[in-house]
Amino acid sequence: MTAEWVLPIAVDETTRPVLRPLPPGAVEVLRAVGAPPRLVAHLRAVHDVAAQLVAWAAERGLPVDAEAVLFGAATHDIGKALHPAELSGPGAEHEAAGRDLLLRHGISPELAKFAAGHARWDADTTLDELLVSLADKVWKGKRVAELEDLVAARLVAASGREAWEEFLELDAVLSVVGEGADERLAYQAGFPVAPVVRAPQK
């Protein structure tokens, strides 16, 4: 049985903030696993930020797999469906669990990897993975210098420009995205951590 509450949260039009709908493939798997309402709202907010970052990268001709980044952002925390305590508290059990859950639902390893790796990054992390990690931070206005330095380094490698130029451009786009953080946080907080189960009518 699929979770009927997922679809409206994932795709219905929103006004404050205006958020893009989640990709159909992501919606399907979120319904199949019974993703909690707040999780779906969170994924939608992060996905929208990822879409803004992907559009910025595309304008600059950067080598980004837009479909992969958007799917990754739309499912990166899916493991919290199995570890709901991590929806309102710290924890990392959802990361590997999310990857495994996606694999069990027929999602390719190339797309499932974002669930396992979105909270960790290093010199070998790809630009696509870094953009999902970045979206997962900046959606709420959080800035992480180490992560941004890695993204800027990838931009330098792709463009051949000076590091300071790339960092200034990255800082500018993240500042603009961060302006919507309060509305996104309020949107997410408007959904319950657990589904509301209605008693059957008599």
d(CA 188, CA 5): 15
Q: Where are the domains of the chain?
A: 6-189
Total residues found in the chain within this entry: 202
Mean pLDDT of 60-65: 90
Q: What is the pLDDT of residues 129-167, one digit of tens each?
A: 999 999 999 999 999 999 999 999 999 998 888 999 999
Taking the mean position of all CA atoms in its chain, how far away is CA 194? 20
Contact 117, 125 (CB under 8 A): yes
At 60 the pLDDT is: 87
Q: What is the pLDDT of residues 72-96, one digit of tens each?
A: 999 999 999 999 999 888 888 999 9
At 16 the pLDDT is: 92
At 195 the pLDDT is: 78
The CA-based angle 102-108-110, given to 5 degrees, is 105
Q: Which CATH architecture does the domain made up of 6-189 adopt?
A: Orthogonal Bundle (1.10)
On the question of pLDDT at 199 being above 80, the answer is no
Mean pLDDT of 31-35: 95
Contact 9, 37 (CB under 8 A): yes
Contact 187, 19 (CB under 8 A): yes
